[in-house]
Amino acid sequence: MNLKENKFLGRVQTLIDLITKVFSFLILVIVVAVTVQIISRYGFNNFIKEVVPLIQQSFAIFLLIGGVFISSRGGHIRVTVFYDLFGPRMKRFSKVLSFICMSLFLGILIWQSSWMGLNALKHKETMNGIYKFMPMYPLKLFIPVVVTLMLIVGVLHFFKTWHNDD
């Protein structure tokens, strides 16, 4: 890998680190919201309905960003039971096949979540039931952005490890 590619990978990693660090503070929002809900519910016998969608949407965003962070660090669990038995040629074929499957899955997810998010924005979609006051479109628009980051991380990982036989 040449110096230019290393600089590019470094910039992408820095951007991902910045985004994930900013959103990592969502765990504090989740902890505070759950604590308030528990104290309110069991201490004062008062259920605060407004807290539930905040917890749900914050947790969804936290999980999406966490997936990007773990992917960028190569931290996903890899099952290499058969992979270790393959020769170099079969390992390359396996990498290409995995890359194609990942790209197709994430590409379709970006495509579908994009039009769903734009449709939700167009109709100012809100949650159902007693949570009609909470908008859904910000979360739905956030999904394709995060999945695009995940795809970028996957593409970079593929090209970074292309020549590795392990």
This prediction has a pTM of 0.78
User: Is position 166 within any domain?
Assistant: no
Whether residue 3 is predicted with pLDDT greater than 50 in this model: the reply is: no
User: Is position 55 within any domain?
Assistant: yes
pLDDT given for residue 5 in this prediction: 60
User: Is position 64 within any domain?
Assistant: yes
Please report, rounded to a whole number, the percentage of residues in the chain having pLDDT higher than 70: 93
Task: Please tell me the distance from the alpha carbon of residue 55 to that of residue 87, in angstroms, as a whole number.
Answer: 47
Whether residue 17 is predicted with pLDDT greater than 60 in this model: the reply is: yes
pLDDT given for residue 87 in this prediction: 86
Q: Which of 60-69, 110-119, 152-161 has the highest mean pLDDT?
A: 110-119
The domain in which residue 34 lies consists of: 3-160
User: Is position 165 within any domain?
Assistant: no
Query: Cβ contacts of residue 118 below 8 Å, gap of 6+?
Result: 141
Structurally, the chain folds into a number of domains equal to 1
* Nearest residue to 154 (alpha-carbon basis) of 31, 63, 91, 72: 72
Residue 16 near residue 68, CB atoms below 8 Å: yes
Q: What is the mean pLDDT of residues 26-40?
A: 90
User: Is position 98 within any domain?
Assistant: yes
Q: Which residue has the higher pLDDT, 5 or 94?
A: 94
pLDDT per residue as tens digits for the range 86-103: 888 888 898 899 899 999
Q: Which residue has the higher pLDDT, 77 or 112?
A: 112
Radius of gyration of the chain (CA): 20
User: Is position 143 within any domain?
Assistant: yes
User: Is position 128 within any domain?
Assistant: yes
